[in-house]
Amino acid sequence: MKKGFSILAETFYSSAISAACVSIFFIDETGSPQFYAKRKRPLWIDPDFVPIICLGMAVTDDRIKLRNDVLEFQRQILDDPLLNSIYSVAQPGWHLHARNDHSDINLKMVEFLRQYSGFKASVVIGRKIPEIFINKHNGNATEFYFDLIHKLLELVSFDSNCSYHLYLSQRQSNTVQRFSSAFEKALQTAAKESNNINFSCSIVRSVDFPEMSVVDYMLWALQRYILKGERRYFTALEHRYDKIFDVYENEGAGKLYHENEKFALAKASPFITK
């Protein structure tokens, strides 16, 4: 297994290992893996506790085109007098970020992604169930998080003729070693010839990688549907989701949604309990 590591760097892509195909993964999250506040105070007893964390990846075989197209979309926003006067857009260094963007920008970006065919997305929904967190993940948020990364990567059918380059959005608890370990674990599960697969893992800042905004918006649309019941953004992008895996559905067995079995709230057990 040939591998490379980097933090906050793009250098590996420019010197990519020659392969019959190259797949680029951009991985991000929405929500927090934390179950406890300071002094081990349980967060799940709070009325505003968010009961899920979603991790997703946008996969492309043409990173340069995806990057340039997102940058061009941002440039159009900045050049549009109807949009560039929005307070958040007018701030120095503005970049796309679904949760912080104005609703007009949200709508524009969803329209852009709805028409854009240069990627596919997959998502895992991690239900934040205290009993599972304590018993399976030893009450450790980092362990919980990287188990979800592993589940996400298991959705991929790996090919020993391909080279894989994975970019994970930087978070405080992320390390390249843990990221690589999750990938290798997924390879052992999914690929019989995992020793022949070339890959690199990098942890990067979203602000430096406009491609991350694609997965950010795909996650935002799904989470908004789950938590607020607002379906329109998810419906508009539904055809861009390759797979959605509800990890702890069916008493922990999980449930996979795909092209022939699309995700819908009515098909899932409640995410929010009163």
Name the amino acid, one letter, at 269: S
| Closest C-alpha to 96, from 113, 81, 82 | 113
- The three-class DSSP label of residue 36 is strand
Annotate 213-255 with DSSP letters as a single string: HHHHHHHHHHHHHHHH---HHHHHHGGGEEEEEETTTTTTT-E
Structure confidence by residue, pLDDT tens digits, 101-158: 999 999 999 999 999 999 999 999 999 999 999 999 999 998 899 899 989 999 998 8
Report the run of H or E that residue 232 belongs to, with start and end: helix 232-237
Check residue 112 and give left, alpha or beta (phi > 0: left; psi -120 to 50: alpha).
alpha
- Total residue length of the chain: 274
**Separation of alpha carbons 71 and 66, rounded Å:** 9
Domains, in order of start, for the chain: 22-200+211-267 (3.30.420.10)
pTM: 0.89
Name the amino acid, one letter, at 85: S
- The three-class DSSP label of residue 108 is helix
Q: If you average pLDDT over every residue of the chain, what do you get? A: 87
